[in-house]
Structure 1
Amino acid sequence: MDKKQLAEETINTAANGGNDAPLTSTDVERVFDLLFGTVEHPGSIAEALNRRENVSLGSFGSFRTDGGTATFRPGTALTEFLQNKTG
């Protein structure tokens, strides 16, 4: 799934949640760029990791640096979902 497809899925999820303010693909893609970064500009996660901070995204998981490399540790909820252990 690329960024555009992920943005579309996010828009659909938001729409199904009954949000009054619809999101556009451009809105979501801009948030992705600000959060994860682009080739030209690092995102919020990269900036925090560069400062040697851990980034926790709740039950989704967390990012940290390990010897100059970013690593991701999935959270319990994500792991259980992927293992079909959720209801």
Structure 2
Amino acid sequence: MDKSQLIQATADKAADGGGRPGTENVERVLDALFGTVEHPGSIAEALRRGETVVLGSFGSFHAEGGTAAFRPGKALTEFLQDATG
């Protein structure tokens, strides 16, 4: 899944709850969260400050040896195991 597909899937998923955010709004949010080539996102900025970014049961990002690392959470792990098992 590339960025444009992620934006479309996220807009579609958000529409399940009622109003539909425009794909432009979803793209802005994803760029602010994950960053672009030109501008770091809020996750990257937090990692640079030495913080861990916890996204509920999805998982967490942390800095490890000068790179970003992701540790999946329980809910994500269980979902993937059920989906593939």
**How far has the Cα of 1:23 moved from its partner?**
0.4
- In the alignment, residue 79 of structure 2 is paired with which amino acid? F
SS in 2 for 1:83: helix
Which structure has more helix as a fraction of its residues? 2
Q: Does 1:43 align with 2:30?
A: no
Provide the residue aligned with 2:13 in structure 1. Answer: 13
Work out the percentage of aligned pairs sharing the same amino acid: 65
- In the alignment, residue 76 of structure 1 is paired with which amino acid? K
- In the alignment, residue 69 of structure 1 is paired with which amino acid? T
**How far has the Cα of 1:8 moved from its partner?**
0.7
**How far has the Cα of 1:41 moved from its partner?**
0.3
SS in 2 for 1:84: helix
What is the Cα-based RMSD across aligned positions, in Å?
1.1
- In the alignment, residue 13 of structure 1 is paired with which amino acid? K
* Match runs of 1:1-87 below 5 Å: 1-17=1-17, 19-20=18-19, 22-84=20-82
Count of matched residue positions in the alignment of Structure 1 and Structure 2: 83
Q: Which runs of 5+ in 1 are unaligned?
A: none
